[in-house]
Structure 1
């Protein structure tokens, strides 16, 4: 049984004019335990909405979303969500933010703090436990967000462009950090990104979505060996060949989205 199943899932939203906007249309996707799936597509096509269907933040208008064999009717157990912007409490320290999740799930305070310290060390922030968010760099905040998510031992990790705001060097460091931490788990990852290089570097499969409304156009298996170093693997002929193949599929959708957007403006 697949850990995540979207079966002909469609999502429509009411517009300000009273009409309906279809964000996602007839999407069927499975994700296995321990699999890393990246989702790419034009800006605004509905990639993030796909994550919302899996997480239970939005119900499908048609079709079904299933996690661990159960229909998604709310936020399923075992789902961790890492957003593009930080979801941390500024009045809490690093330790307080990372320990908050286990405590909200009923773990005793001392045990939750022990678990938090372990993950803070694993993401390379030992010694920063008592710092506040405004005292950290962007990359350090992302490390806190990773620890905050992984401390709950999720079976499914949903990531919505988590590294897009980082500079190139820090982004590469965080990509390697994510791969190293994920390799020690059996979590399924669904990773939304605009960056095709990032998608290929990280994933076992890359899902290409169409211009809005989002449909699955192609799915590419990424046969690059693991473990991967994100900076080294991008220089290999195998990576370049895969990039060229996936870009041929994606580029036409990007052009459709650009043309449609230009026509709307005109």
Structure 2
């Protein structure tokens, strides 16, 4: 897919170094460079602990880059950019609020009236398949239902950029596939620019336009693999297609060595 516009997200040689209380320095990511364009869905994969989440932190403005540049909408990231949504692996559903009030919290925080916020929340509760559960509390919901609430919380503000850090990682396989299909159908409505971190190669490929493969930590970009599968997609069906398997093989061929390096380092520490 040829991109004719400036990227919405641009990282150029982005490096992040953390310093602990003893003054020891740890490089989490090093010289990370990639772009995400408007309406593009980019998955990021890499070995455990390589720095994928750190990359999202730089884009979100939650952590500044030590060196290099990170830009969103053409401007350097110095704080949380406007129009950005972030969905974490651990949901931010508040236990003392109902489903409706959890989803309405974002619009209220942004200045919407109570009536307007609850109206928007009601629409999104229905969109994620929870109509009839508006008055339920989180402890009354299954894990998959809580994820639907978290997704509605994120999308109710209609972000132009969506960062997702292994949001479905704790779900069972069937529930995860349902959530992936739901995400694709909702994303198709407004085509936010998405950066989706995952350990699951099937998930990464089924959702994305491109897959960014990162090296063992400190991570840098090893490969960027175009997916090229037609949309709309159904995850359960597309993962059985030969074209999907071809992309899977290329991504795994690129990632395999990095996973082995990470495993070897872990074994060395135990020894």
- TM-score of the aligned structures, taking structure 1 as reference length: 0.99
Query: The residue matched to 2:189 in structure 1 has which SS?
Result: coil
- 1:165 is the counterpart of 2:156: no
CA distance in 1, matches of 2:30, 2:269: 21
Number of the residue aligned with 1:263: 268
Shift of 1:260: 1.1
CA distance in 1, matches of 2:78, 2:112: 25
Number of the residue aligned with 2:148: 143
Shift of 1:7: 1.1
Which of 207, 216, 219 aligns to 1:214? It is 219
- 1:8 is the counterpart of 2:9: no
Unaligned runs of 5+ in 2: 1-5
Matches within 5 A, 1:39-58: 39-58=44-63
- 1:25 is the counterpart of 2:37: no
Unaligned runs of 5+ in 1: none
Report which stretch shifted further, 255-264 or 8-17.
8-17
Query: The residue matched to 1:184 in structure 2 has which SS?
Result: helix
CA distance in 1, matches of 2:239, 2:9: 29
Shift of 1:4: 0.5
Shift of 1:176: 0.2
Shift of 1:186: 2.5
Which of 229, 232, 240 aligns to 2:237? It is 232
Number of the residue aligned with 2:102: 97
CA distance in 2, matches of 1:235, 1:156: 30
CA distance in 1, matches of 2:112, 2:90: 26
Shift of 1:264: 1.8
Number of the residue aligned with 1:78: 83
CA distance in 2, matches of 1:71, 1:237: 41
Shift of 1:265: 2.0
Number of the residue aligned with 1:197: 202
Number of the residue aligned with 2:160: 155
CA distance in 1, matches of 2:103, 2:150: 8
Runs of 4 or more, structure 1, over 6 Å off, are: none
Query: The residue matched to 1:76 in structure 2 has which SS?
Result: coil
- TM-score of the aligned structures, taking structure 2 as reference length: 0.97
Note the aligned Cα RMSD (angstroms): 0.7
CA distance in 1, matches of 2:21, 2:199: 27
CA distance in 2, matches of 1:53, 1:82: 15
Q: Deviation per CA, 1:61-111, whole angstroms, max 9, x where unpaired?
A: 001111111111111101100000111211000000000000000011100
Aligned length: 266
CA distance in 2, matches of 1:252, 1:219: 16
